[in-house]
Amino acid sequence: MSMLPTERAIRTTPEGLFWEPGERWVRGVKGEVTVVDSRHPVLVWEPELPVPQYAFPREEVRTDLLRPAKNPPAGTHTGSQIFYDLDVDGEVVENAAWTFPAADLAGYIAFAWFLRWDRGLDHWYEEEEEIFVHPRDPHKRVDALPSSRHVRVEIDGTLVADTHRPVLLFETALPTRYYIPPEDVRRDLFVPTDHHTACPYKGTAEYWSWRGEADVPPNLLWSYPDPLTAVAAVRGRLAFFNEAVDITVDGERLERPVTPFSEMLGTRPHP
């Protein structure tokens, strides 16, 4: 029996929210206590957030652990109506959960993950895999493909990488990233930093900064030493922010893209 297209279409609410039913078994844990155990989650996109959030039917949430928030924040979520503090064995997490006033989402409770908040649960799982930072977007793809393209990377005119063995990582709404074998990178020109970032699609990255005097942002080189299985091909390889360096692929100099990372890096498009 075929499924009608409208049964999986993203729905909208008058408040400006987008949402759709999810099919994954999702659990959220605080300490040793399972706070959320849901087989009927929904994914919710807010206009001001680039990633989705989960909301769960009340009956699949330990609502006995929720208390009306003592200090609810103002204007944190689109049309948010009620905030809850989470009390697990005497440990209180303020504003850990909330509801949306949208009629379509009545009876659902959303929880903070890790993207913007220092509050939330300790661990989240989709099926048996732990998920970090934020829920994965089902409309986003991340593909890591080995290639034989000729990739050269320069910083202020200095050649810092030259390879015919890159892995190209294609991620929806972001420029292609070129992951280069470490032996094809002038690692002596970079110094490791204590900066780390986490990605629900790729894993945890470590970073290096440029040693030279060029006006470039710190932490412009990174690697995933232990990437998630889906992008295992990038393991141990090194990638540069296209926004901050000059990359030439098969003899064609790429334009520096403008992305959400550009402001963070303090870069501008380069001719």
Q: Are 209 and 222 in contact (CB under 8 A)?
A: no
Tell me the per-residue pLDDT of 10-60, one tens digit each, with 9 for 90 and over.
888 888 889 999 999 999 999 999 999 999 999 999 887 778 999 999 999
Helix, strand, or coil (residue 269): coil
In this predicted structure, what is the pLDDT of residue 47?
A: 84
In this predicted structure, what is the pLDDT of residue 244?
A: 94
In this predicted structure, what is the pLDDT of residue 239?
A: 98
pLDDT band of 259, cuts 50, 70, 90: confident
pLDDT band of 3, cuts 50, 70, 90: very low
CA distance 72 to 83: 6
In this predicted structure, what is the pLDDT of residue 116?
A: 47
Helix, strand, or coil (residue 118): coil
On the question of pLDDT at 114 being above 70, the answer is: no
On the question of pLDDT at 120 being above 60, the answer is: yes
Across all residues in the chain, what is the average pLDDT? Answer: 89
Choose the weakest-confidence range: 115-124, 143-152, 156-165, 208-217: 115-124
Average pLDDT (146-169) is 98
More confident residue, 235 or 270: 235
More confident residue, 216 or 76: 216
Main-chain phi, psi angles of 142, to 5 degrees: -135, 115
Task: For domain 5-131, give the CATH number.
Answer: 2.170.150.40
CA distance 30 to 11: 31
- Backbone CA torsion sign across 195, 190, 225, 135: positive
Task: For domain 142-265, give the CATH number.
Answer: 2.170.150.40
Choose the weakest-confidence range: 3-7, 76-80, 151-155, 233-237: 3-7
Listed in order, the ranges of the chain carrying CATH 2.170.150.40 are 5-131, 142-265
In this predicted structure, what is the pLDDT of residue 1?
A: 40
Tell me the per-residue pLDDT of 185-239, one tens digit each, with 9 for 90 and over.
999 999 999 999 989 999 999 999 999 888 899 999 999 999 999 999 999 999 9
Alpha helices for the chain (secondary structure H): 260-265
Helix, strand, or coil (residue 18): strand
